Structure 1
């Protein structure tokens, strides 16, 4: 919640002479990014990291983006490394994590959760275990 408020605060220009209006916040059952990812991503030709991959590979921006979007993409691309056709994200400990699309992520989740060495752990523990195996995707 604090991160969300800090993000909102950084996006608003405040005029201290005027009265501040309260911010309306609603709480949802699941995070908003989970609602945007589903079967549509499997049908899409571009994985979630397509724009980052395109920028890292050839320094090209997507069509019709604002200067703010370009700045954000440059900032995000700092943490990514391209090796051949495979995109890696630098982890906090500088270990490279392979970026996965939705189909590959689903297979990895199934294998870690239900596979031969699988454990029925909670989501945080599973995410740490998958990152230890060297994989990454945006909604992990």
Structure 2
């Protein structure tokens, strides 16, 4: 069995992986400074990029499966239809990280049909 993983050219992780694995930086000076600044916050171990946290735990980078991860944390077996910030904390405790995680969790919770249908409504006139 052969498994092939193709990295997109627009993937934000690839320059960081190139720096951590091969010490190769991009040609653009502005992009080079940004990659050097961001790279110490990551670890590349056994073909997987992990994010370091203040507690020295490693969070697995999950860019492609973020919708499935948020669905499982929000309304799956372990979910309780939390709000956006609570969903963000839950996904982080599950061991996942991506750069736009906070905003993605807020948007996901706002678009949940069950949460919107059963939400508390204030029946007072404005």
Fold match (TM-score > 0.5): yes
Task: Find the counterpart in structure 1 of residue 23 from structure 2.
Answer: 59
RMSD (Å) for aligned C-alpha atoms: 1.6
Aligned residue-pair number: 94
47, 56, 66: which is aligned to 1:94? 56
Cα contact 1:82–1:88 (8 A) shared by 2: yes
Query: More relative contact order in 1 or in 2 (CA 8 Å, sep 6+)?
Result: 1
When normalised by structure 1's length, the TM-score is 0.61
Q: Please give the per-residue CA displacement for 1:33-74, whole angstroms capped at 9, x wherever unaligned.
A: xxxxxxxxxxx7243312111211111123x411x3212211
Does residue 74 of structure 2 align to residue 74 of structure 1?
Answer: no
When normalised by structure 2's length, the TM-score is 0.68
Does residue 12 of structure 2 align to residue 48 of structure 1?
Answer: yes
SS, match of residue 56 in structure 2? coil
Task: Find the counterpart in structure 2 of residue 121 from structure 1.
Answer: 82
Query: Would you identify which runs of 4 or more consecutive aligned residues in structure 1 move more than 2 Å?
Result: none
For structure 2, the 5+ residue unaligned runs are 1-6, 102-126
Task: Find the counterpart in structure 2 of residue 108 from structure 1.
Answer: 69
For structure 1, the 5+ residue unaligned runs are 1-43
